[in-house]
Amino acid sequence: MKQTYLFLIFVSMSLNISAQKRLRDYGVKIGVMKTGALNAITDVKGVKVGHTTIQQGDSVNTGVTAIIPAEGNLFQSKVPAAIYIGNGFGKLMGISQVKELGNLETPIVLTNTLSIATAADAIIDYSVTQKENQNLRSVNAIVGETNDSYLNDIVGRHVKKQHVLTAIENAKNGVVAEGNVGAGTGTVCFGFKGGIGTASRVLPKASGGYTVGVLVQTNFGGVLQIDGVPVGVALNQYFLNNQLNDPADGSCMIVVITDAPVTARNLERIAKRAMMGLAKTGGIASNGSGDYVIAISNAEGLRVAHDSKEKLQTVQELRNDEVSPLFLATIEATEEAILNSLFAAKTLKGKNGTIQSLPIDQTIKLLKEYKKIN
Q: What is the CA radius of gyration of the chain?
A: 19
Quick check: is 246 catalytic? no
- Candidate list 115, 200, 291, 341, residue with the active-site label: 291
Q: Which amino acid is at 305?
A: A
List the catalytic residue out of 289, 297, 341, 357: 289
**DSSP for 187-246, written as a single string:** -EETTEE--EEEEEEE--GGGT--EEEEEEEEE--B---BTTB-HHHHTT--TTTSTTT-
| 251 is annotated as an active-site residue | yes
Nearest CA among 202, 197, 101, 180 for reference residue 356: 180
Catalytic residue among 115, 200, 251, 297: 251
Describe the chain by its helix, strand, coil percentages, rounded to 5: 35, 25, 40
* Phi-psi label, residue 353: left if phi above 0, alpha if psi -120 to 50, beta otherwise: left
In residues, how long is the chain?
374
Distance CA 207, CA 91 (A): 36
- Positive or negative, the CA dihedral 265, 212, 90, 71 is negative
Within the chain, strands assigned E span 48-56, 60-68, 77-88, 103-104, 108-112, 142-146, 188-189, 192-193, 196-202, 211-219, 250-258, 289-297, 304-305, 348-350, 353-355
CB 115 within 8 A of CB 65: no
Assess whether 289 carries a catalytic annotation.
Answer: yes
> Catalytic residue numbers?
251, 289, 291
